[in-house]
Structure 1
């Protein structure tokens, strides 16, 4: 297994064949995921928010999730996310293949490198999202006639509440294009683990103070449901285009993470 899909809000069933459940033990807790077949290749599906959307963004066990994917040998991750837009060029129903992020979270566990056997490592984040996966997703979207913006800055807030108009004005001034609650620390941990990581952000609404009406979570899910077909087509048409050999720098793993994962897996 080399490819994983991380499903966000509204993405709970990837629709693959011969789906089976698998549990993986990690130093941070157990992870339950599903494995299915697509064009004779096994693909891992991880539901970020758990069954029936039981986990709010700040309670997701991001470290366990990424560690489990690493243990399974995953190299490539396509993540989905429902986002609000602070950019008038990014409209509801459109996709954004994000290229950078701003972090406004407060209480989360952000790294594998907290000292001890993992050491203390300062990881380079010049390219937080895999350029090779981004290119493949954008090319696939163009061929399918799906509106997907090339690049965007994802501003990650703590949640689970939505942002205030004042916060959205601040995010716009700092360059944020879309706003959501799950990019951090997921992208950070994937980068530390040497995984190629990309995010397809689906715009579900204009953000607070821009939208003419108050936002509800039901509206987010409704827009996701309306566009789930395009999202699924984009992901599964992109998968066969992903080469076996990686042509990016994402595989570089700083510190002792690879060694520790291998030792714990063999133990």
Structure 2
């Protein structure tokens, strides 16, 4: 049976309902992960859980040690990864509370440690990243979203920006011209590091605000926090349905 790892983003720093069996403090060649890897039972099966931003939520997107996080999950026995991300909506369909299971990603971040293939290498290594997300996992997520009667899109292009600030109206207009549907700050290099470790990876993105210029007002943290509070029960129900299948 596949051992799933869940990477929890903003709003999901702990997985309520997880019956904990171990908290693993894993040393990696890349430093410490954001938090201990939690092993336990959720929805009737063994799972791993890692809080991307730490617990409590304290590590900003550009300072997450993505390499240590992915390496630690692999060492703990992860065989597939379900990543939960809070995002802004660019496409008109991506309103607050809408879910997206993206099929593509564009990386606008910079300066992040983005590969395991660096330093003193025996040979140069390239990985195919034509299709960043695992199709089987994507189908499992969309089936679960449908079964839970969630508003969702089964395709979308994720724009990963640097953060921690939100984007300007002009930047969002540029991302829209590039074909992006949602915008977040943590989708990369997480997805490609999973690919380098040969870990199937998919993203469950919850829209928590309209992107800059996509609503009449300014974006507030209170608005985002309300959307997170409203959406996390659905996130957990979707994850439980995937794991229980």
Normalised TM-score (structure 1): 0.87
Q: Please, which runs of 5 or more residues in structure 1 have no aligned partner?
A: 242-267
Note if 1:88 corresponds to 2:115: no
Deviation, structure 1 residue 214: 1.1
SS of 2:170's equivalent? helix
Note if 1:63 corresponds to 2:64: no
Does the CA contact (< 8 Å) of 2:43 and 2:243 recur in 1?
A: no
Say which structure is richer in helix: 1
SS of 1:219's equivalent? helix
SS of 1:34's equivalent? strand
**Whole-angstrom CA distance in 2 between matches of 1:39 and 1:149:** 24
Residues 223-242 of structure 1 mapped to structure 2, 5 A cutoff: 223-241=227-245
Note if 1:168 corresponds to 2:172: yes
Give 2:154's aligned residue.
150
Give 2:24's aligned residue.
22
Does the CA contact (< 8 Å) of 1:113 and 1:119 recur in 2?
A: no
- Change beyond 3 A, Cα 1:45–1:89: same
Q: Please, which runs of 5 or more residues in structure 2 have no aligned partner?
A: none
Give 2:181's aligned residue.
177
Does the CA contact (< 8 Å) of 1:8 and 1:48 recur in 2?
A: yes
Note if 1:42 corresponds to 2:43: no
**Whole-angstrom CA distance in 2 between matches of 1:60 and 1:217:** 20
- Change beyond 3 A, Cα 1:39–1:101: closer
SS of 1:29's equivalent? coil
| Coordinate RMSD, CA, aligned | 1.4
Give 2:197's aligned residue.
193
How many residues matched? 241
Normalised TM-score (structure 2): 0.94
**Whole-angstrom CA distance in 2 between matches of 1:46 and 1:75:** 14
Deviation, structure 1 residue 163: 0.1
